[in-house]
Structure 1
Amino acid sequence: MTSTDQQPFLSVKDLKVHFSTEDGIVKAVDGLSFDLVKGQTLGIVGESGSGKSVTNLTILGLHDRDRTAIEGEILLDGKDLLTASERELERLRGNKMSMIFQDALASLSPYHTIGTQIGETYRKHTGCSKAEARKRAVEMLRRVGIPQPDMRVDDYPHQFSGGMRQRAMIAMALVCDPELLIADEPTTALDVTVQAQIMDLLKDLQQEFGTAIIFITHDLGVIADIADDVLVMYGGRCVERGTKKQVLGDPQHPYTLGLLNSMPSLKGSVDVPLTPIPGSPPSLLNPPSGCRFHPRCAFADKVAGNLCSSERPLLEVVEGRGSACHLTETQKQELFADFAATRHH
């Protein structure tokens, strides 16, 4: 998913993340690969339990090493994060890579001022004085659009609105100018106006710093606004990937089609009914054989020989575009034709 003239800043190769539990092995991520270049945003979309957040916590090294089996490779600017020591990861976290969490109120300490929390992150990585850290915190609050930052820097999280707390979280994540920013559903709890402001802020900051962004969400409307490339996850696997225009405008996997059919379109007729995907996401303790989506797929009976339930479809990627599905290209054109007709005309 990179352009031909740019080397990936982040490269994930055949990543597998399995957890040991009392009930058995949870295959949270099961063979995931993708690349991301600087200045680009990769949107990772999928239902709860698809492996989105686990993938990104693994990139950051925020997992219980005693209970987690990890295979594959995660290269950040050529450095393999899976073989890095905890000390190396601590040096990289907040400095070269950073994360914005979904719930700012739960992620910020209620006992310390906003300025202290932003400043401590900066001090840890630069060794600067408290005065310099406070100055940097004020600068970052101003940069993320918080009014009167020289006064608000001494406020506590409960004195900020939800949108302001999320801006403060973004300021903390960006205080050391990280080259990779992971945003884990950072706008979910916000109203649409504040959500739009946060999205614009991230795009502006990306343009300013050239940051590579991974944006995790279940909302395809958000993906349409911010992403350059899209990776669709289901049951711990990637089922489709491509540019935003390719994936949202011409889906090639029944799951992606199902996600799009379950949300309203701004282009099509308002009379088109929304069609939810039947059933529930698979158990990652005992996932379905073959294609993990086949028990919920409307087209599984179109494939001969019970392939969908017996054989895992390969994700064949050509120039950044691919889908893991047993349907032929001709079948997809025929079966997905109704989607194109109702959504785009």
Structure 2
Amino acid sequence: MTTLPTTEGTPAPTGSDPFLSVRDLRVQFSTEDGIVKAVDGLSFNLERGQTLGIVGESGSGKSVTNLAVLGLHNPKSTTISGEIHLDGQQLTGAREKTLEKLRGNKMAMIFQDALTALSPYYTVGRQIAEPYMKHTGASKREGRQRAIEMLTKVGIPQPNLRVDDYPHQFSGGMRQRAMIAMALVCNPELLIADEPTTALDVTVQAQILDLLKDLQQEFGSAIILITHDLGVVADVADDLLVMYAGRAVERGSVKEILTQPQHPYTWGLLSSMPRLSSDVNEALYPIPGSPPSLLNPPSGCAFNPRCSFPAEVAGGLCTEKRPALPDGRAAACHLSAEQRQTFFTEQIKPRLG
């Protein structure tokens, strides 16, 4: 399992620097209503060839975190602190020219809405070739040939013909494949996939996830897979980071979190998922309430207004003190390990089957 450090303070050195290291990342937006703390003290590591799944509801800080890694936030309205190191290079505070050399080359992103991300005015082939020509100095002819190669790799039929098509001439699944081709055209060492299977049917979802796994084996890329669906990462990710209200609340390997989740929020995510083995009339267990406002988050644990446990079970700490996330396999929760294990075994595990 990839070592994932604590979100509280600077983690202890692990003996060798990880490929991607994020430490105490904080991202704040200035709005007319006040300061939005979109990411509030997040840390994690990612090694080459590994996949980290980041899961959580909309507004939990997943995409904001990865846009900060890529340096895509508007500096006029965004304040970013903490440290982001990619292969030993500091990205936080780096000049735009430095980031431009890295984006699309050493690091790339697959956006969740391919129809919006792809320009309707240019052919798919031109859009795939553009970053390749920019970063390698290749000619237009070489760029076109590279685009055809990448369309072939991602499974687009008749790539020598479809290279001249426009995005609207592609189906949803084909557009997503084209986005993956564009992201991988320069063989990036870090690939960020932001909800890559959103709005795709189940069959196409499986094809896209299998494609990511195959291409990772070929290119050796480190992948961050952002999703709100734990089922999506079950067969793809090595480790999981569960986020809520801008903070990490649980981390561990995929197997550990899916079979022995330790945080009440993770229990809620798992309990609200339908299962193929369940009866069609079986009730689901949605998480009550809504995610908190990041303008004015609740005191103590941000999840406490929606938690299954009354605050007094943890001695009142839930509403008074924000829980830390210790090193290693851990959950940021004031409940004792015994309390959580008992509740999970008696109440949650029967729901999950």
Question: Which TM-score bucket, shorter chain as reference?
Answer: over 0.9
Q: Match for 1:10: what amino acid?
A: L
Distance 2:314 2:264 in 1: 16
CA contact (8 A) 2:314 2:335 kept: no
Q: State yes or no: 1:116 paired with 2:117.
A: no
Q: Which residue of 1 aligns with 2:332?
A: 324
Q: Runs of 4 or more off by more than 3 Å in structure 1?
A: 3-7, 265-272
1:14-73 deviation digits (Å, cap 9, x = unpaired): 100011101000000000000001111100000010000000000000001121111110
Q: Which runs of 5+ in 1 are unaligned?
A: none
Q: Which residue of 2 aligns with 1:133?
A: 143
CA contact (8 A) 1:7 1:37 kept: no
Counting aligned pairs with the same residue, the percent is: 71
Structure 1 window deviating more from structure 2 (331-340 vs 269-278): it is 269-278
Q: Which residue of 1 aligns with 2:23?
A: 13
Q: Match for 2:128: what amino acid?
A: I
CA contact (8 A) 1:42 1:215 kept: yes
CA contact (8 A) 2:194 2:226 kept: yes
Q: Which residue of 2 aligns with 1:159?
A: 169
Q: How far does residue 5 in structure 1 lie from its aligned partner after superposition?
A: 8.4
Distance 2:337 2:139 in 1: 61
Q: Which residue of 1 aligns with 2:248?
A: 238
Q: Match for 1:113: what amino acid?
A: T
Q: State yes or no: 1:340 paired with 2:353.
A: no
Q: How far does residue 303 in structure 1 lie from its aligned partner after superposition?
A: 2.6
Structure 1 window deviating more from structure 2 (53-62 vs 295-304): it is 295-304
Q: Which residue of 1 aligns with 2:308?
A: 298
- TM-score using structure 2 length: 0.94
Q: Match for 1:282: what amino acid?
A: P
| Cα distance, 1:163–1:35 mapped onto 2, change above 3 Å | same
Q: How far does residue 268 in structure 1 lie from its aligned partner after superposition?
A: 6.1
Q: Which residue of 1 aligns with 2:9?
A: none
Give the CA RMSD over aligned residues. Answer: 1.5
Please give the residue correspondences for 1:1-345 in structure 2 after superposition, counting only pairs within 5 Å: 2=2, 7-266=17-276, 272-318=282-328, 321-337=329-345, 338-344=347-353
1:258-305 deviation digits (Å, cap 9, x = unpaired): 110111234567665211000000000000111000000011335343
CA contact (8 A) 1:41 1:226 kept: yes
Distance 2:262 2:276 in 1: 21
* Secondary structure of the corresponding residue to residue 34 of structure 1: strand
Distance 2:33 2:256 in 1: 40
Distance 2:310 2:86 in 1: 38
* Secondary structure of the corresponding residue to residue 316 of structure 2: helix
CA contact (8 A) 1:303 1:326 kept: no
| Cα distance, 1:258–1:215 mapped onto 2, change above 3 Å | same
Distance 1:156 1:214 in 2: 28
| Cα distance, 1:29–1:335 mapped onto 2, change above 3 Å | same
Q: Match for 2:108: what amino acid?
A: S
Aligned pair count? Answer: 342
Q: How far does residue 335 in structure 1 lie from its aligned partner after superposition?
A: 1.1
* Secondary structure of the corresponding residue to residue 59 of structure 1: helix
* Secondary structure of the corresponding residue to residue 226 of structure 1: coil
| Cα distance, 1:5–1:212 mapped onto 2, change above 3 Å | farther
Distance 2:265 2:171 in 1: 36
Distance 1:170 1:340 in 2: 37
CA contact (8 A) 1:269 1:343 kept: no
* Secondary structure of the corresponding residue to residue 58 of structure 2: coil
Distance 2:51 2:36 in 1: 29
Structure 1 window deviating more from structure 2 (288-297 vs 259-268): it is 259-268
Q: Which runs of 5+ in 2 are unaligned?
A: 4-13
CA contact (8 A) 2:304 2:311 kept: no
